[in-house]
Chain A
């Protein structure tokens, strides 16, 4: 069955860095656009970043542009999010998700990994 498993979350100080991973299985990862979506405690969903199936296009929310970098390794069926210059407002559960095209719904979601930015 389809699985997306996030890892790499934890507690980090403001200004620090963290790298999230999302391991995919059960579907053709290399054919899917992949996203990171986050949810601050008690808040709604916020889209963070997207990478095209072949890695050729990447888009970012204004709130993370210049600080976060999305990447993927199709040979390892793995999605990444490098997060630098972290702020308290980046504290959230980070979900990875996949869809088959720009207008398409998120067919697959991971269970999320919690990132806490605190001194």
Chain B
């Protein structure tokens, strides 16, 4: 089955740029979606189809996808961005949705 690999944690100072990676075999050929989840809340979509933003999501959130790695980039990080972030793809070979293990973003 298809596996997505994320770093367990990323730390960044306020105002700096955070990059969260999502690794998978030839993930560049898939559409990658990213979710933000704060404690006790449901996930919220922040980037879809590799690099598009839903309405209401700040421009500080962006995404890219190429080769074996997709990346969520959060510019000018704020304290309110502290959360868990998950990548997600549809694996057509198994007809399964797949989530990465999640990355905890800590704002120092």
Contacts and interface: CB of A to CB of B under 8 A. Distances in A.
B98 A105 contact: no
Q: Mostly helix, strand, loop or mixed at chain A's interface?
A: loop
The 3 closest A-B pairs by CB, nearest first: A105-B33, A47-B97, A105-B48
Interface of A: 35, 37, 44-47, 50, 59, 61-62, 95, 102-107, 109-112
A102 B49 CA distance: 12
Interface residues of B, number: 26
B42 A111 contact: yes
Interface of B: 1, 30-31, 33, 35, 37, 41-45, 48-49, 84, 86, 88, 90, 92, 95-102
A10 B79 CA distance: 34
Given A44-B102, A45-B86, A102 B42 contact: no
